Structure 1
Amino acid sequence: MSRSTPRKEQTHERIVEVAARAVRREGYAGVGVADIMKEAGLTHGGFYAHFPSRDAMLVEAVERAGQDGAARLMQRMEQWREQGASPLRALVETYLSEAHLGGCEGGCPVSSLVSEMPRQSPQLRESGAGRVRGLMNLVRRFLPADARPGAATAVTSTLVGALQLARALGDNAEGRAVLAEARQALLSRYEPEGERAPH
């Protein structure tokens, strides 16, 4: 292995990290190669030493955004769990939180990008579909054992849709009300009876 390999890997990671934040903040169309390289402190010309195309970079960026968003979600869920919340309540309260409402850049890429996914290249559509499946699988893990088939799809749809609607209304009382109503609807429907007391 050559001496330059670790440095090249670090540079690659920096580009992916910058792109992962940018794609959640700006959407697919708002991510330009020149802007990403500039934000990463690199020259535009060095891009193709790391990626064969812009789409290849975006695939990695969305994957990284998913990993980072999931790690952040799990960390915040653990804080709810330490307070005695059920796994489902921890998920719902975290995903539909005011922090997530205002924190698009560091949040779940599905809620940031899902409406744009169908209009992307096949490579990016498949990457996006993988993130959607991943979120549905995560939700499935935290539903009660007796939840009906398809509940994970319904809950995921409500989580993502409510967050998108709230962001459309703004990080304000109106947007926060959408989150509160969605939290209440999900928990009253899916949380086990004995765990519905406020935490």
Structure 2
Amino acid sequence: MPRITKEDKARNRQNILEAAGRMFRSQGIDAVGIAELMKEAGLTHGGFYNHFASKNDLAMEVCGASFAASLGSLARAVEEGPSEAGSPLERVVAGYLSTAHRDAEDGGCPSASLVTDAGRHTDAVQSAYAEGVEGYLAGFSAEFLREAEEKGQRPDPDEARRRAVRLLSELVGGLMLARAVRHVRPELSDEILRAGRDGALG
């Protein structure tokens, strides 16, 4: 039987992480069994523990990796600066509270798709989630401060932080509400998204 190379092992581990990311965000951590997960990753059930000590350890890594990818999108929007589609934060809001994000099969951003799971799981998973939330707050705050400077106003870090907390709360809450009613009241779901897009930045 051929030996698995380090490269193969690393690739298998990444396949598990990616499959778990999609499944945890779309179905919830507790709803996904290890056997089902490994099948989705194209691997055998028994191979799971060659890569992760427990499902909880995997959930912690998935939470961190999912936020890293999501925060990368925020960083790219900020780096691109204002465009015809609006300021970086206006584009973030439009994308977050969009029908495409609401209906994303992979669950989309972990801030909304893993929020309930994080509250029910271990401190390690909550810590990974909290770190992701802090990443969003830091990014939003920095952009609010930059906008204030651009307008010739005196930047207020405390106010920028408060605005960042409000913005993230409105984004996550709006998306969760829109998802909760989309099948039985699609018009209400769309209304929630529109109102959120119109009012999120005050």
TM-score norm. by structure 2 comes to 0.82
Task: Classify 1:125/1:4 alpha carbon distance in 2 versus 1 (closer, same or farther; 3 Å).
Answer: same
Task: Classify 1:103/1:36 alpha carbon distance in 2 versus 1 (closer, same or farther; 3 Å).
Answer: same
Structure 1 match to 2:196: 182
Structure 2 match to 1:170: 182
Task: Classify 1:185/1:169 alpha carbon distance in 2 versus 1 (closer, same or farther; 3 Å).
Answer: same
List aligned pairs for 1:34-53, cutoff 5 A.
34-53=35-54
| Cα distance per residue 1:73-93 (max 9 Å; x no partner) | 666788995425112211111
Structure 1 match to 2:122: 121
Larger mean Cα displacement after TM superposition, 52-61 or 103-112: 103-112
Q: Which amino acid aligns with 2:50?
A: A
CA RMSD of aligned residues (A): 2.4
Whether the 8 Å CA contact 1:76–1:94 is kept in 2: the answer is no
C-alpha deviation, 1:123, in angstroms: 1.2
Q: Which amino acid aligns with 1:161?
A: G
Structure 2 match to 1:194: none
Structure 2 match to 1:9: 10
Gaps of 5+ in 2: 149-154
Whether the 8 Å CA contact 1:96–1:183 is kept in 2: the answer is yes
TM-score norm. by structure 1 comes to 0.83
C-alpha deviation, 1:116, in angstroms: 2.7
Larger mean Cα displacement after TM superposition, 112-121 or 82-91: 82-91
The SS at the match of 1:116 is helix
| Cα distance per residue 1:16-48 (max 9 Å; x no partner) | 000011110011211221111011111111111
| Cα distance per residue 1:139-198 (max 9 Å; x no partner) | 2233232572411001110011011111111162211110111111123x2xxxxxxxxx
Task: Classify 1:129/1:166 alpha carbon distance in 2 versus 1 (closer, same or farther; 3 Å).
Answer: same
The SS at the match of 1:46 is helix
Structure 2 match to 1:137: 138
Gaps of 5+ in 1: 190-199
The alignment covers a number of residue pairs equal to 187
Whether the 8 Å CA contact 2:74–2:139 is kept in 1: the answer is no
The percentage of counterpart residues that share the same residue type is 33
Structure 1 match to 2:167: 155
Task: Classify 1:104/1:3 alpha carbon distance in 2 versus 1 (closer, same or farther; 3 Å).
Answer: closer
